[in-house]
Structure 1
Amino acid sequence: MTPDISNWRASPNYDYIDRLVAPDLAWEWLRRNSEYQHDYSKVEGQTDESELLVNAVRRRWGLQFPCPPYFHRR
């Protein structure tokens, strides 16, 4: 079954995207990337012993993790 995408631009679920700044917009797309999700799942909840893994993910995706990630709409 093919999903109906005829009204995808009108969806109120995505109205917040119009107000995002570049880093927030980049995050919206990155968090949907299956390879990023896989890498992040390996890092999430790790202890200080996983510093090498965290640094590898940072280098691969060009990211910093200054605080715990969470999703919020503005």
Structure 2
Amino acid sequence: MKLNTSRWRDNNSYDFFDTLPIEGLAWECLRRSVSYQRHYLALVVSGAERQPFPAEEQEHWGLRFPGSA
């Protein structure tokens, strides 16, 4: 999964960031993480990407807060 970086200097490519909710912004940053990409690829290869994401994995990637609200 190679990221297309050909338009990284084009400000218009990032206009949508201004309208993202906090979850969307977090996802845009997380999906660019090479470590996360490797982890997701391992899930796909093992056939586990359709299974619920374990709570400890959610915490590891910042998808859930460790404590209660």
* TM-score (ref. length: structure 2): 0.57
SS in 2 for 1:63: coil
RMSD after superposition: 2.7
Bigger RCO (CA 8 Å, 6+ sep): 1
Q: Do 1:17 and 1:25's aligned partners in 2 also have CA atoms closer than 8 Å?
A: yes
For residue 27 of structure 2, what is the aligned residue in structure 1? Answer: 27
- Gaps spanning 5+ residues in structure 1: where? 1-7, 65-74
Which of structure 1's runs of 4+ aligned residues deviate more than 6 A?
A: none
Q: Greater helix share, 1 or 2? A: 1
Identity %: 34
- Gaps spanning 5+ residues in structure 2: where? 1-8, 65-69
Larger Rg belongs to: 1
* TM-score (ref. length: structure 1): 0.53
Q: 1:28 to 1:47 in 2, by over 3 A?
A: closer
